Structure 1
């Protein structure tokens, strides 16, 4: 099936904007969900055609997907019941796009501590924050057995352009408190990926086989302590980090602290082999994170 028109959710978000750009570079026509007039204007400026609605408007999602050749689901609902919103949205999008490719967003944290370098076949041991994902992902991937074309992309910690989770939970607190937090001794490794690189993988995943699952990480796995030190430098406090117990981290950051404390080393060899993905930001993770960001 030839894919020329792609519908996105979450297109104005941190990962969504570069994904729109990647799709346009690849020659796709892009339509995208817009929950407000401001979002609609942003999408138009990015070069995408806005479709007004929210993730809970399943009829809108189904109709928009039916008018596209492929779908990428990047949107999420951070509120209570977000897992149910994600599931209902995924089902509506899958129903709408039919046999066309549907790319669903997962996350590498579901693998828990990896005990060395692992790939997509590793057992899952998710922290509480992401334990809900497996049921939704199983439902999505099951569509491959009934004529659908689901693909699952599982990003690591996304960084780049002075934004994302590292900015929110490490750089910004360092700017405010004079030191970046480190949960535990900080020797745990993170699977990371630059936002522009993961956007490219989403675009390439439209051509992946039905049922494919791809971890999206660079081959560099910095330690949490190194990330925190780089974040402190970006905040104008080089070398200043603050050690927190997991309990203190949970109190300050919420349940995401458990995910930041995971020790993960992963390979994206499968994505590279199947899709031709070639991440460009492969050896400059800490340099990018350490780049000064405005207050």
Structure 2
């Protein structure tokens, strides 16, 4: 299987590319710098010099099996990349070729904020977080494509390795203060970067039978934000107590999102089960990993 990972040097795309390589697949990724090219090559990922706005990767579409889109995106950029792939697949792939599978990365913030209502992969999206109100339309564009075999993965809040968004919080803790947007009583839907990578591999491998599906990539149970922040004070040695503050912009408002998520579809259709310890249980290890990654 040949796979191109768009965003293959990022927090989501890099572990996914590594996991695909470990399964023996041929994996390509874009790289914008010589340093990134070396990082990819060292992991046996084939680097393609350029970014998503270039044409460097377009000829690959003629022979690829799967494209994973894991870029930091805007509505216009997500739509543009998808439409470029559709156009190239139509023009470059030989007649009678299997549909190219396209795995789009969304996020569980599309479920919106609620501390009373439990949601699943198949719950209608009524009130997405303001930062991502555009994502549901892109999701539907992908899964309803008549050219590509579209699949959507919605990662929840990521932890592990270099910490992703939580690195912002860890930095404050390392400086002696645990301050985070939100209010008491919130709960996070979370997933470890390695477990999420396994989900991308399963979707790529079984794309021909799960085309048109949307999967929430998240641990089966949510975790208390209060308990998480309290333990972070202890693990980091920061001066307590932790404190909440008002969000300063839409991104911080999205961070406050409580999603009482109970995903089931990835397990039911793909046999995917997250294996890493939860965010709170493994926090001493995850905080140490973030420090080591600096």
Match of 1:204 in 2: 202
Query: Of 262, 266, 272, which residue of structure 1 is paired with 2:267?
Result: 272
Q: Quick check: which one's strand share is greater?
A: 2
Paired residues in the alignment total 276
Give the alignment's TM-score, normalised by structure 2: 0.87
Instruction: Note if contact 2:176-2:239 (Cα within 8 Å) is conserved in structure 1.
Output: no
Match of 1:62 in 2: 58
Instruction: Note if contact 1:182-1:224 (Cα within 8 Å) is conserved in structure 2.
Output: no
Cα RMSD after superposing both structures: 2.0
5+ residue gaps, structure 2: 91-98
Instruction: Note if contact 2:121-2:264 (Cα within 8 Å) is conserved in structure 1.
Output: no
Question: Which stretches of structure 1, 4 residues or longer, exceed 6 Å deviation after superposition?
Answer: none
Match of 2:227 in 1: 226
Quick one: distance in 2 between partners of 1:290 and 1:220? 20
Give the alignment's TM-score, normalised by structure 1: 0.86
Q: What does 1:1-295 correspond to in 2, within 5 Å? A: 4-57=1-54, 59-77=55-73, 82-97=74-89, 99-114=99-114, 115-124=116-125, 125-143=127-145, 146-168=146-168, 170-181=169-180, 183-185=182-184, 187-206=185-204, 207-208=206-207, 209-237=210-238, 239-244=240-245, 248-250=246-248, 254-281=249-276, 283-291=277-285, 292-293=287-288, 294=291
Instruction: Note if contact 2:180-2:244 (Cα within 8 Å) is conserved in structure 1.
Output: yes
Match of 2:95 in 1: none
* Secondary structure in 1 matching 2:144: helix
* Secondary structure in 1 matching 2:150: strand
Quick one: distance in 1 between partners of 2:24 and 2:222? 33
Q: Kindly provide the CA deviation profile for residues 23-49 of structure 1, in whole angstroms up to 9, marking residues without a partner as x.
A: 012221101111122111111011111
Quick one: distance in 2 between partners of 1:249 and 1:256? 8
* Secondary structure in 2 matching 1:6: strand
Q: Which moved more, 1:15-24 or 1:116-125?
A: 116-125
Quick one: distance in 2 between partners of 1:193 and 1:176? 26
Instruction: Note if contact 1:104-1:150 (Cα within 8 Å) is conserved in structure 2.
Output: yes
Instruction: Note if contact 1:182-1:241 (Cα within 8 Å) is conserved in structure 2.
Output: no
Instruction: Note if contact 2:181-2:252 (Cα within 8 Å) is conserved in structure 1.
Output: no
Instruction: Note if contact 2:221-2:262 (Cα within 8 Å) is conserved in structure 1.
Output: no
Task: Report deviation, 1:162.
Answer: 4.3
Q: Kindly provide the CA deviation profile for residues 244-277 of structure 1, in whole angstroms up to 9, marking residues without a partner as x.
A: 2xxx322xxx322222222212122101111121
